[in-house]
């Protein structure tokens, strides 16, 4: 970006900054929403609530279906990341040398 363009677009810098922050927040929210460990934990809590009589069978099925859909999306996102060449969650990202050492 040249000096002239930088000066002309300077008033837009706060807007771009706010948009970037909003994007980062959205990305983190999606990561948490589709985190497999979190979903599995929520499924366990749901089962415990049902066994303790806190929720009825209808609510159990509804919430369980929602969680299973989130889990399916989580797996699809992981497959897409692997296809894009990004490491799978939990996979060690450190590079190995030609002798297999890290």
- Residues 55 and 6: their CA atoms lie apart, in Å, by 58
**Each residue's pLDDT tens digit, 9-19:** 778 788 888 88
The whole-number pLDDT of residue 95 equals 45
pLDDT at 56: 95
CB atoms < 10 A from the CB of 39, how many?
A: 20
- CA gap 24, 14 in Å, rounded: 15
What pTM was computed for the model?
0.60
| CA 18/CA 34 separation, integer angstroms | 24
**Structural domain spans, the chain:** 20-83
Percent of the chain whose pLDDT exceeds 70: 82
Q: Would you say 40 and 72 are in contact if contact means Cβ atoms under 8 Å apart?
A: no
Task: Tell me the two tokens of residue 22.
Answer: 């909003």
Alpha-carbon distance of 66 to 77, in angstroms, equals 17
Average pLDDT over residues 22-42: 93
Residue 97 has pLDDT above 60, yes or no: no
User: pLDDT band for position 92 (50/70/90)?
Assistant: very low
Alpha helix (H) residue ranges in the chain: 3-9, 13-33, 36-51, 57-83
């Amino acid at each position: 970006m040249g000096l002239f363009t930088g000066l002309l677009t300077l008033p837009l810098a706060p807007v771009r900054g706010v948009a970037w922050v909003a994007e980062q927040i959205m990305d983190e929210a999606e990561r948490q929403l589709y985190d497999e460990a979190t979903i599995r934990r929520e499924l366990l809590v749901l089962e415990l609530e049902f066994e303790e009589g806190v929720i009825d069978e209808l609510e159990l099925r509804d919430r369980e279906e929602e969680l299973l859909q989130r889990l399916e999306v989580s797996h699809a996102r992981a497959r897409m990341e692997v296809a894009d060449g990004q490491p799978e969650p939990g996979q060690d990202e450190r590079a190995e040398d030609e002798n297999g050492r890290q």
